[in-house]
Amino acid sequence: MNTNKPKSAPLGKLAIGALILTSVFAWQRMAYSAEEAVSIAAPKMDIPAGSSHSAQAVFSGGCFWGVQGVFEHVRGVTQVVSGYSGGAASTADYETVSTGETGHAESVQITYDPTKVSYGQLLQVFFSVAHNPTELNYQGPDHGSQYRSAIFPLNDQQRQVAAAYIEQLNKAHAFSVPIVTKLEPFKGFYRAEDYHQDFLVHNPDHPYIRINDLPKIQYLQHLLPADYQQNPVLVAGVSPQV
């Protein structure tokens, strides 16, 4: 996200003082704390582990900073890359995607070991921790189709498991309103610019990260402790922000 968006606190508001900022953070933590009491069941249908030690999944759930940050802490995940999916290669850059007219969604490509974590477990993290699947074309302060909730299945098994899980959660009334997550055809995944990679890890004091994303890591640790790993897996070849 660029610094002209709501993810960067306006200079005037920062000048108001730490008291107001602290109050904002406290309110956000209270909102996340209230949701911690809500736990969703694991998928009844899942993909068997098999013998392969590497598979991939592509999810979209709002700003990729937080979604990437969450899945980098999931046990069995070996890499998470922020990028764009849903549109053409020619429009897969941040400024163009930000217009909301490319068909792309900010997405993450997750590489994982199916013998350690299943596709169904990744879906459980996606729906319960990484984002709110009931918000249509927005997540929190971010609005536009590029922030939509979507799953891009890479094969028929992933499509069947994801569709069954959405049906399971809706039937169980796991959320107060229906899930709006769509299963979309996978057209390709295009890696985002380097400055977006591992943004949460490199910028823990960024106002947007502190308010919207760091609580998600605590969510994962407390809600799904068996799936949590303390040390995040980082994208190779990306230097920390300075």
Per-residue pLDDT at 50: 87
Average pLDDT over every residue of 10-32: 36
In a domain, 3, yes or no: no
**5 within some domain:** no
Q: What is the pLDDT of residue 80?
A: 98
The residues assigned a catalytic role are 63
Residue 71 within a domain = yes
According to the model, what pLDDT value does residue 128 have? Answer: 96
Q: What pLDDT was estimated at residue 116?
A: 97
Question: pLDDT above 90 covers what percent of the chain?
Answer: 80
DSSP state of 172: T
Q: Give the C-alpha separation, 147 to 154, whole Å.
A: 20
- Averaged pLDDT score across all residues of the chain: 86
Confidence of residue 38 (pLDDT cuts 50, 70, 90): low
Cα-based distances in Å from 42 to 118, 122, 209, 218: 11, 10, 28, 19
For residue 179, give its domain range.
11-227
Please state the domain count of the chain: 1
Whether 70 maps to a domain, the answer reads: yes
Region 192-218: mean pLDDT is 95
Which CATH number do you get for residue 150?
3.30.1060.10
Give domain status of residue 4, yes or no.
Answer: no
Query: Is residue 238 in some structural domain?
Result: no
